[in-house]
Amino acid sequence: MKRLAVLLLALFALGNAAGAADGPNANFHLEEFARLPVVFNGRHQPIDSLAANALVQIRERRRANLEPWKSWWEKPRMASATEWFATLTMRPDEADTWPTFRINHPDLISLLKLPQKDEAHGQDGKHYSWNQIEPGFKEVEDQARRVLEKKPDAAQRDSFDQSVLKLRNALTLYLRLKNTVIPSNTTNLLADVEKFRAVASSFATRRNDPEQRQAIVGQIFNWDMLESFDTPLIIPPTEANLTREGWTRVAASVVALSLGDNATAIFRTLGDIRKFQGQPGADGAPLMASLRQRFNELLDTAMPPKPVPASLQAYVTMAEAFRRGDSVTFNSTLAGYRQQLASNPAVAGDLTKTAREVFYNHLAPFYNTMPIYVTAFLLGCFYWFNFNQTARKLAFWLIAAGFVMHTVGLIFRMWLEGRPPVTNLYSSAIFIGWGSVGLGLLLEKFWRNAIGLVVGSSLGFVTLVIAHNLALDGDTLVMLQAVLDTNIWLATHVVIVTLGYASTYVAGFLAMLYVVRGVFTRGLDEATGRSLTRMTYGIVCFATLFSFIGTVLGGIWADQSWGRFWGWDPKENGALIIVLWNALILHARWGGLVRERGLMNLTIAGNIVTSWSWFGTNMLGIGLHSYGFMSGAFLWLGGFILSQLVLIALGSLPPRYWRSLKDRPAAPVKPGNPPPKAGGKPRPAVA
Amino acid sequence: MDRFFPVKRLLAPLTSLKLTVTLLALGIAVVFFGTLAQTEDGLYVAQARYFRSWFSTWSPHAEGWKWIIVPLPGGYLLGTTLLANLLAAHAVRFKFGWKKSGILLTHIGVIVLLVGQLGTDMFARESRMSFAEGEWRNYTEDFHKTELAILSDATGSDLEDVVVIPESTLADGGEVRHAKLPFTLRIRSYAENASIRARGPMVDTNTPAASTAGVGARAVMEPSPPTRAMDKRNLPTTVVEVVDPAGTSLGTWLFGFVLNPQMVTVGGKEFRFTLRSTRYYEHFSVKLIKTTHEVYRGTDTPKNFQSRVQIDNPGSGEKREVDIYMNNPLRYGWLTFFQHQMGRDDIDANRGTSVLQVVKNPSWLAPYLGTIVVGLGLLVQFLIHLVGFLRKPRA
């Protein structure tokens, strides 16, 4: 049996490995290039992650299809995220013709006068290039400004508004990345750097000469323009600041040749001056004077400039070689640069970390677990039709293998981040899935009736799909805000409360199974019904324990951070509702207010309560836990809640409508597990 | 027959599990609607309305749906009823046994949590201490409450004589007299939130000046609805008439939260009037020494906010420096100082400012205690069930 499972897994792996890269850039060592460390959004990461996360935001995929109008059997040319990034940064004119921007809203497509679907002319009606969108930039900008001004609250925005903002963000991100190595406004970067060095060198000798001062200020303004593109930080730490925090952008690394680590500070001061300048009365204000004074003080620290850093030299050489199509020079420069990095003490940690992260990206543990869970789910259902033990055991081993993969992925993420497993919404989905699959396997170990398998695999699959969609927002390993920067509370409160979510869902799915099998099939015999009831009841107890402890630990964290145990924040309230709901189920059961079917209906409602807490509260857009409004998710949440209400309605049908119950003699008087509480005159069951 | 029988009969309705289930369901409804209401009313208002109350109602804000009115019990009503239900159940119905020990513990913990939350609601006080680097503070300021302070020594030192009129008195209107004040105040108006602007020569020909004397003579005051945003405070204003001992009116003055202190001369003596956040003075002072505001490299995402402060307590002779940062508050006396906001001085770009949230909560230990007890109780009960379950044969 295990052998069969292994065989199936090997098949999955094969399907995944197919489609290795080839194409015009095959000679460039792009997989080496992908491993170079950079810093983006405050996170030290490989180019591989930077490129893939950016492409996901622009194109909703981790690879670029350059011929999206072709069907897959016509073998459209695909580019890896790194190939796209290399082209964007080093051959921008070519990248500008690639259809990498995905636009979903038809009104936006027609507003920008973009071509409709037309395979003969290479248009798929969804993906467009920078060059195609360019005539409409002003329109996008105007629309985006309108949305941001008139509808500051994300909840007011309709799908068109959101699509405008999404495109605007994609264009901005594209522009940020495009200027990473060679800024678009320069023809010869190294010559510009030399010019700065010349100016800085004469300023350093004649600081009191107003003309020299004027010249260097002009230079700094120019480089600040480039810095303000907010590009990734690709220049590794130099002597100016030889620590892990010493990474800079190209612009700052140039200014740092003369100003050292003050380059970043002078740009920041310049940014403050710019921000303040627009306001009325800013000119004579004391704040302005003190900002200018600070700028001049920083400028006075200028030293005779150092030579151009080797890293910048290497990047420029690589860019030129890539542009010419000269893979030999590119590859040798890349290898040389990697050696340089290896000898830089401030980068050593980043190098190993990025190598690890690239491995993790290619492993794609969660993505690859999905088909395993689906197959196992189908096998589990198949078992109920003919009680084929082979199917059940195969499903068990497949899920076990999927669970191992899932766990490996989780541990890898923890290792990469140096954090407990749940740090954001994305990882909460992963973790809920993991917990559910684990619980499902446990249930199966005790009952051996495929129920745990079906519930575990379906929840595992659904949460992984949710996670996959959440990952479309970009990087899933983002740095944490200061307030979340505490591993103790992330490890206790967040993990436990998330396990509470997972167990409430497991109970809810068990109850769904009860209703579906009972109403639509004859499969819910008395024994199955009883075991489902006991499972559900046990898991509800488990859920009560975890959601309660998790919620209260959250309160203690809040007390530690903000000085109040309970602040009635939407997310706190959501968690409280889960606790109250689970407590309600248990008390209703103990009081004999509900029996088997009533218990099931209440537990299905637990799915609604948990989903509200997990996603609904984030959609309110208020409070400390809100992560922004997600309109797509809103529809899905609505749909899910509706489906649960339908199931509850079905579950409330009198037994004569249940295919499994209609022929059964009247409901047994014997109370379920556990018996009604003391004081217990037998009460009429509500269910 | 049990000699407590009559008492038990009386308590019977209070002990039922049906009541528990009903209360839990109502609790869910209150929390749910109280959360929804936050989108429109703001956290502070919604909290007071739904959770710190005995009764409330919820209505949707959307046009056309306002006729829907959901009556709800308030948090206090639910909390006390739940408490009564729990206590009555244990007094009458519950029989102690090892099998129930977990439930008993859980319920004791829930009682501690409920009572603790009530205590927090009644006794806790949140205020803020805001200062720039190098400044001393020996008081904290309430974020919501306002007071009209009258300082008899116009020099502006912190040692002067202060008479303070709380917001509630201002809102009530009428006359205010104080032994230390040689005049009577007639409160002419009080607005919880208002905007003040200069009176325009052309536009305001029909709008009267806010007052007859002081800044208000050249200004217009327009009341606005109370703010709902969590991080904004109301900007109250009041118009006060000053009447000297002889009964002659000296005119009316406009005092506003956004206005500078104003001088009023009565009987040759100057008094400084200012409408400000309610202050709570402490017996020690705190000096902001240095602020640290770190962001992740190349971003604006905050990585660390940190204030280094010095505590100076003349009473105990204590004088020490301490760092306050996220997740690392300072507990001193009955107060806890949390890093709240950080900024830059309005005048000097190189001088950092910091706002500390200061909480005084005598029952801050209750939730810790309650959590431990409930956690223990649930764990015990869960284990009892688990052991029982593992021993039973399965289908």
pLDDT in tens, B21-50: 999 999 999 999 999 888 777 778 888 899
The top-scoring range by mean pLDDT among A332-346, B53-67, B174-188 is: A332-346
Mean of pLDDT values over A132-137: 94
Identify which has the larger pLDDT, B386 or A679: B386
Query: Which of A180, A184, A183, A172 is closest to A58 using CA atoms?
Result: A172
Out of A479, A534, A580, closest to residue B24 by CB? A580
Q: In terms of domains, do B43 and B96 share one?
A: yes
Measure the CA–CA gap between A146 and A140, rounded to whole angstroms: 10
Asked whether residue A676 carries a pLDDT value surpassing 70, the answer given is no
Q: In terms of domains, do B158 and B270 share one?
A: yes
Asked if residue A674 has a cis previous peptide bond (ω within 30° of 0), the answer is yes
Q: Is A679 on the interface with B (CB under 8 A)?
A: yes
Q: In terms of domains, do B336 and B272 share one?
A: no
Q: Is A286 on the interface with B (CB under 8 A)?
A: yes
B302-313 and B269-295 strand pairing: antiparallel
As beta bridge partners, residue A558 has none
Q: In terms of domains, do B181 and B233 share one?
A: yes
Q: In terms of domains, do B23 and B99 share one?
A: yes
pLDDT score recorded for residue A220? 93
- Based on its alpha-carbon atoms, the radius of gyration of chain B, rounded to whole angstroms, reads 28
Asked whether residue A407 carries a pLDDT value surpassing 90, the answer given is yes
As beta bridge partners, residue B293 has B305
The pTM for the full model equals: 0.86
- Per-residue pLDDT tens digits for B357-373: 999 988 888 989 998 99
pLDDT score recorded for residue A621? 55
Out of B35, B301, B371, closest to residue A552 by CB? B371
pLDDT score recorded for residue A631? 58
Maximum Cα interatomic distance, chain B, rounded to a whole number of Å: 96
| Residue A27 phi, psi (nearest 5) | -80, -20
Measure the CA–CA gap between B336 and B124, rounded to whole angstroms: 11
Q: Is B85 on the interface with A (CB under 8 A)?
A: no
Asked whether residue B18 carries a pLDDT value surpassing 60, the answer given is yes
ipTM of the complex: 0.84
Q: How many domains does chain B have?
A: 3
Mean of pLDDT values over B169-176: 88
Whether A247 and B297 lie within 8 Å, measured CB to CB: yes
pLDDT class for A206, splitting at 50, 70, 90?
A: confident
Please, are residues A528 and A517 in contact by the beta-carbon 8 Å criterion?
Answer: yes
Q: In terms of domains, do B163 and B268 share one?
A: yes
Please, are residues A122 and A77 in contact by the beta-carbon 8 Å criterion?
Answer: no
Asked whether residue B159 carries a pLDDT value surpassing 60, the answer given is no
- Per-residue pLDDT tens digits for A276-306: 777 776 666 778 888 888 899 999 999 999 9
Q: What letter represents residue B238's amino acid? A: T
Q: In terms of domains, do B373 and B347 share one?
A: no
pLDDT score recorded for residue A152? 75
Cβ-count burial of B356 within 10 angstroms (0-12 exposed, 13-18 middle, 19+ buried)?
Answer: buried
- Per-residue pLDDT tens digits for A435-493: 999 999 999 998 898 999 999 999 999 999 999 988 888 888 887 777 777 778 888 89
pLDDT score recorded for residue A556? 87
pLDDT class for A114, splitting at 50, 70, 90?
A: very high
Measure the CA–CA gap between A614 and A618, rounded to whole angstroms: 7
- B367 contact residues in A (CB cutoff 8 A): 552, 555-556, 559, 565-566
Q: In terms of domains, do B165 and B272 share one?
A: yes
Q: In terms of domains, do B387 and B318 share one?
A: no
Share of chain B above pLDDT 90, in %: 31
Q: In terms of domains, do B333 and B219 share one?
A: no
As beta bridge partners, residue B254 has B239
Whether B39 and A489 lie within 8 Å, measured CB to CB: no
Q: In terms of domains, do B108 and B166 share one?
A: no
Share of chain B above pLDDT 70, in %: 94
Identify which has the larger pLDDT, B344 or A507: A507
Mean of pLDDT values over B153-171: 73
Identify which has the larger pLDDT, B182 or A501: A501
Query: Which of A461, A354, A362 is closest to A62 using CA atoms?
Result: A362
Q: In terms of domains, do B229 and B313 share one?
A: no
Mean of pLDDT values over B113-120: 89
Measure the CA–CA gap between A410 and A420, rounded to whole angstroms: 9
- The mean pLDDT of chain A is 87
Q: Tell me the residue range of the domain where B87 lies.
A: 5-123+366-391
Mean of pLDDT values over A262-274: 88
- CA A492 vs CA A486, A505, B193: distances in Å: 10, 20, 42
Count of Cβ atoms closer than 10 Å to residue B334 Cβ: 12
Q: Which of A177-186, B158-167, B332-341 is predicted with the least confidence, judged by mean pLDDT?
A: B158-167
Tokens of residue A90, six digits:
């080093």
| B-proximal residues of A, 39-58, CB under 8 Å | 39-43
Whether A42 and B301 lie within 8 Å, measured CB to CB: yes
pLDDT score recorded for residue A21? 53
pLDDT class for A391, splitting at 50, 70, 90?
A: very high
Measure the CA–CA gap between B143 and A579, rounded to whole angstroms: 32
pLDDT score recorded for residue B160? 60
Asked whether residue B96 carries a pLDDT value surpassing 90, the answer given is no
Measure the CA–CA gap between A118 and A123, rounded to whole angstroms: 5
Mean of pLDDT values over A113-131: 90
pLDDT class for A343, splitting at 50, 70, 90?
A: very high
